[in-house]
Structure 1
Amino acid sequence: MLSLVSAAAALAQPLLVSRVVDAVGSGGALLPGVATLVVVLVAAAVLGAGQQYLLQRTAEGVVLTTRRTLADRLLRLPVAEYDRRRTGDLMSRVGSDTTLLRATVTSGVVEVGGSLVLGIGALIAMALVDGWLLLVTLASVSIGVATAIAAARRVRVLSRQAQEQVGAMSASVERALSAVRTIRASGATAREVDTVGGSAEKAFRAGVAVARLQALVAPASGIAIQGAFLAVLGVGGYRVASGAIGISDLIAFILYLFLLIQPLGQVIRAYTELQTGLGALARVQEVLALTPEDDDRPARPGTTTAPRLPASGDPVPLLELRGVDFDYPDGTRVLHDVSFSVPAGTRTALVGPSGAGKSTLLALVEGFYPLSGGSIRWAGTDVLDLPRSLLRARMGYVEQEAPVLAGTIRENLLLAAPETPEPALWQVLEDVGLTPVVARSDLGLDVLVGDDGVLLSGGERQRLAIARSLLARPALLLLDEPTASLDARNETLLRQTLATAAQDRALLVVAHRLSTVRDSDQIVVLEGGRVVAVGTHDELVETDPLYRELATAQLLV
């Protein structure tokens, strides 16, 4: 609305100037015309300032909304999407790509609307003043405008290519920074600098290609504008001399020409910005088009109420896998007809050589990937008939790498159970042997852990991740190599903690150290993605050659 009112005020100015010139020539009263002109000028300036503020405020709001939407979608994508994409490229879509939308989606579009009104109004006024001068103007302007638009169309393609190169560069930087210690220790710093520099060079070249094309737009429109101005001066001067129009008409026409030139330049610039932003918008929409995980509703119609959790000794197991198959995206089968159950209140261990599919099984139980065949049942109900949010609220999961979020120990502990009182935090830290770590600092639970928990040792990160899961009091605790980074003393302490935890919950543990799981209620032996044996430690030592080989290698036989 402000844009339209501003356009109307601008269109009134040449007419007012023409009347003031006529008043000077005829000796009439000047004050009313001058006062009106001053009021219109001031009003146009105030309206323009308000319009620009609202435009910029709206632009920031659009960027904010887009970033929130993107962040929400990125954090809810299926895990398989993270496997296929580079983190740095996804981050660049939230940062640099959304920034390009600021001028494109808001200022550019709105300015085009106001500019079109102003331009159309100027053309109508110019036609009323003198039709021949209007024809001269259109002939001069059309050539330059057509050239500028043709160049701007190509900007869209080049802009998307440039943004993709920026995303690749961000991914290279993220890759290097996430492994900076390994890179330094390997003496590969110079090579990684060259790699990142190469990505930056490609982004530079793509950006220069966009700039080169955009540079053609301004001269083309400038030549058209200057040509139109000179043509109007020449032809208009001749028509004034011949008496076809008056000097006041020529002045008004030239002022309207200026009003036409301004929106014309804005339209060409906005069109170019629009093409630039559409390249970034395509990358944003590519992510928004991905289907997120549905945490709140089941994947297919079925029971949405939580099934009753079985107690220890119930015939219905807490977790049951029936003929589970899983394939990689390329069709390679990883798991073949895997079947076993985890009764409530028991400890089940998954053991076997590396690559047997143990960690993959835990990921399937968590619902990170769809099954290729078979089914997983929770308390007797197929997990496909239950909301993911309900299932994950009943499970705790500690990954093999035991990720720790940047922040404090308190923030990490409260991740899954934000309402936990402080005494319970101290108790779980004592259970996993982390109390001395907290006691090292006067900050207590608010001591920082660093990015990715870099200020903690590998074993401390693992114990913190286990403590975080225990606080949520899950019915089933999934542990992937929980003692991989622990020394003998802390391994013993953790085994005691897990034994206590297993009294009121089931445990499903992946382990290479058989000493950690030898006292489990059952041990499932995997090889080549298949279950080859199930039993206790003593039974498997007697009956299964693979397990006996593993136990012998670890001096447990």
Structure 2
Amino acid sequence: MLPYLRHHRGTLVAVGVLSLFAAGASLVQPVLVRDVLDRVTDHRAVAGPVVLLVALLLVGAALRAVRDYLLQRTGEGVVLTTRRRLARHLLMLPIAEYDRRRTGDLLSRVGADTTLLRVVVTSGMFEIVTGVVMVAGALIAMAVLDPALLAVALVALLVGMAVAISASRRTRGLSEQAQARLGEMTSAVERAISAARTIRASRAEEREATAVARGAEEAYAAGMRLARLEAIVGPVSDTAIQGAFLLVLGVGGVRVASGAISVGSLVAFILFLFFLAMPLGQALHAYRQLQTGLGALQRIEEILEVPVETAGDSTRTQQESVPRSVAVAFDRVSFRYPGESPVLHDVSFEVPRGNRIALVGPSGAGKSTVLALIERFYEVSGGRILVDGIDVREMPRSALRARLGYVEQEAPVLAGTLRDNLLLTAPAATDTELLAALAEVNLSGLVERSPKGLDVQVGEGGVLLSGGERQRLAIARTLLTNAPILLLDEPTSNLDARNEAALRDAIASAATRRTLIVVAHRLSTVVDSDRIVVIDEGRVVAAGPHAELLDESPLYRELATHQLLVS
């Protein structure tokens, strides 16, 4: 926890000082009570000690109030700092991490797990520290008042506390299990909500509800294991404290009757025992809270220890480059996803600057992977990719991606307004530029059909737009970057014939100013490309213009025939 508390050192020092003074004010009170009782017995004035006792009560309460506020503020600060750090880290993880992890579990770590860190600060460490001070002071005072009674009290307390502490050691592991099950349940809920329309249309509500319920039951079972452990610890510690009080009362009464100690000393001893037992109980509770929080911290640290996507600077010697007239070049590139079979095998092709190149082939051939490798979402397994004559591994990722405009196949639209989505890639763009980008992809109607204009809501994931509108909005967003190289993955897959023709014209217009690499299933959208690269089973099997490929590539001719481009 120490790195999380580093920025709160000053406040924590103040809390420590306040805790010490509050503990001191409490420890003086039994002495004043004994003095009051002895004065009453001896028929002496008690006004002075009573006033001082009341003052100490009020001062102690005020000190504890300020301390608790500072602790709460520190706890909230730790949660805020951790969420900021974790969110930034999550957004910079390698793309492969998103492929293998569930979104709901990551959300649970940012939400539920970070919340538990507050408990560590507010109910964990300082209760233990304050408890140590109170226990030490009470033990010293009790030893001075009556060592025999102290021995009797300690026997009962230590036996009970040993059992409780032994059981509490399992709390962290059980807490981590409970948080993991909660993350799995959150993932199930996130999965169901994100695909609500598909689930409803498939009449799969009950099956998905059962899956979520199963996750909730597993989280419940993990929580119950933790609850059973805590249910044992609490009564054991309470029994030890009650037993100690009963023994002290019994033995103390005998010693008062024999004249070994006074009534005032017995009352003071019992108050000190209270100040001893209460912090012990609080410290034990704080220990359990601390273990719970550290279990959550373990899950947070697991994510923070995952290396983020680096800037991409390299110390490797620059390899010979292709001519600067070539915008993108693949040189015998091979690639496989972690734990999977190879996806690309010795892929080589060049994209001259200002040209429009299409990648075509059967589904699963590796076309979208080619674009992901250009963006350097993944590292190649072999060979090299050059952009503007430079190996992408020798180029900082930010500099590389500044040269690329990328529209992925799913064309995601962010929740918010039309303006929010467009400004994602060009935060300084003017309304005129935003409207021009929309017009370029035939989306001016979105602005015109609502009085809110650019501030019209698009809904969660763009649900208020049609599939074609979402795709064209993603393309408009990319056009605003003015990147010299544009990567389009299935740009017309969700468009009707009319909008496909309009977008094809927009792409043709963009191609006069940019280098385009387009992945397409519909060959009608790419027949006029400068060059078409045919990929099958991760290999380049043919390349050339449309007419040439019809004569020389059986696979391309088959694809064209199925799409009625040739008879």
TM-score by structure 2 length? 0.95
Deviation at 1:315? 4.9
Deviation at 1:534? 1.2
Partner Cα separation in structure 2 for residue 504 and residue 453 of structure 1? 29
Partner Cα separation in structure 1 for residue 246 and residue 313 of structure 2? 70
Q: 1:17 aligns with which of 8, 25, 33?
A: 33
Partner of 1:411: 420
Partner of 2:142: 126
| Contact map agreement 2:104 2:186 (CA 8 A) in 1 | yes
Partner of 2:23: 7
Percent of aligned positions that are identical: 59
1:283-432 to structure 2, matched below 5 A, reads 283-295=299-311, 297-300=312-315, 315-432=324-441
Partner of 1:443: 452
Partner Cα separation in structure 1 for residue 485 and residue 313 of structure 2? 20
Q: 1:537 aligns with which of 532, 537, 546?
A: 546
Partner of 2:210: 194
Partner of 1:516: 525
| Contact map agreement 2:326 2:389 (CA 8 A) in 1 | yes
Q: 2:156 aligns with which of 113, 129, 140?
A: 140
| Contact map agreement 1:59 1:105 (CA 8 A) in 2 | yes
Partner Cα separation in structure 1 for residue 244 and residue 22 of structure 2? 25
Deviation at 1:34? 1.5
Q: Deviation digits for residues 396-438 of structure 1, max 9, x if unmatched?
A: 1101110000001100000011000100111111110111122
Asked whether 1:257 is paired with 2:273, we answer yes
Partner Cα separation in structure 2 for residue 471 and residue 523 of structure 1? 26
Structure 1 residues 254 and 325, CA gap change in structure 2 (3 angstroms): same
The letter of the residue matching 1:439 is: E
Deviation at 1:319? 1.2
Q: SS in structure 1 opposite 2:247?
A: helix
Asked whether 1:101 is paired with 2:117, we answer yes
The letter of the residue matching 2:184 is: A
Asked whether 1:271 is paired with 2:280, we answer no
Partner Cα separation in structure 1 for residue 453 and residue 317 of structure 2? 47
Deviation at 1:382? 1.1
Partner of 2:239: 223
| Contact map agreement 1:56 1:107 (CA 8 A) in 2 | no
Q: Deviation digits for residues 334-385 of structure 1, max 9, x if unmatched?
A: 1000111112111111001111100011111111111111111121111111
- Of 5-14 and 462-471, deviating more is 5-14
Asked whether 1:497 is paired with 2:506, we answer yes
Q: 1:213 aligns with which of 212, 224, 229?
A: 229
Partner Cα separation in structure 1 for residue 441 and residue 47 of structure 2? 88
Partner Cα separation in structure 2 for residue 537 and residue 25 of structure 1? 112
Partner Cα separation in structure 1 for residue 514 and residue 502 of structure 2? 18
Deviation at 1:300? 4.5
Q: SS in structure 1 opposite 2:220?
A: helix
Partner of 2:165: 149
Partner Cα separation in structure 2 for residue 302 and residue 11 of structure 1? 70
Deviation at 1:152? 1.1
Q: SS in structure 2 opposite 1:533?
A: strand
Partner of 2:101: 85
Partner Cα separation in structure 1 for residue 446 and residue 186 of structure 2? 35
Q: SS in structure 1 opposite 2:93?
A: coil
Deviation at 1:56? 1.0
| Contact map agreement 2:160 2:239 (CA 8 A) in 1 | yes
Partner Cα separation in structure 2 for residue 342 and residue 19 of structure 1? 95
Q: SS in structure 1 opposite 2:326?
A: coil
Q: SS in structure 2 opposite 1:267?
A: helix
The letter of the residue matching 1:456 is: L
TM-score by structure 1 length? 0.96
Partner Cα separation in structure 2 for residue 391 and residue 355 of structure 1? 26
Deviation at 1:302? 6.8
The letter of the residue matching 2:48 is: P
Partner Cα separation in structure 2 for residue 450 and residue 545 of structure 1? 45
Q: Any gaps of 5 or more consecutive residues in structure 2? A: 1-16
Q: 2:77 aligns with which of 54, 58, 61?
A: 61
Q: CA RMSD in A?
A: 1.6
| Contact map agreement 2:404 2:485 (CA 8 A) in 1 | yes
| Contact map agreement 1:122 1:256 (CA 8 A) in 2 | yes
Deviation at 1:143? 1.1
Q: SS in structure 2 opposite 1:318?
A: strand
Deviation at 1:217? 1.1
| Contact map agreement 2:324 2:388 (CA 8 A) in 1 | no
| Contact map agreement 1:156 1:279 (CA 8 A) in 2 | yes
Q: Deviation digits for residues 212-246 of structure 1, max 9, x if unmatched?
A: 11111110011000000011111111111112112
Q: Deviation digits for residues 441-470 of structure 1, max 9, x if unmatched?
A: 111111111101011010000000000000
Asked whether 1:168 is paired with 2:184, we answer yes
Partner of 2:92: 76
Structure 1 residues 315 and 123, CA gap change in structure 2 (3 angstroms): closer
Partner of 1:554: 563
The letter of the residue matching 1:27 is: H
Q: 2:476 aligns with which of 467, 473, 478?
A: 467
Q: Any gaps of 5 or more consecutive residues in structure 1? A: none
| Contact map agreement 2:71 2:121 (CA 8 A) in 1 | no
The letter of the residue matching 1:11 is: L
| Contact map agreement 1:302 1:386 (CA 8 A) in 2 | no
| Contact map agreement 1:158 1:206 (CA 8 A) in 2 | yes
Q: Deviation digits for residues 460-484 of structure 1, max 9, x if unmatched?
A: 0000000000001111110000000
The letter of the residue matching 2:62 is: V
Partner Cα separation in structure 1 for residue 316 and residue 366 of structure 2? 30
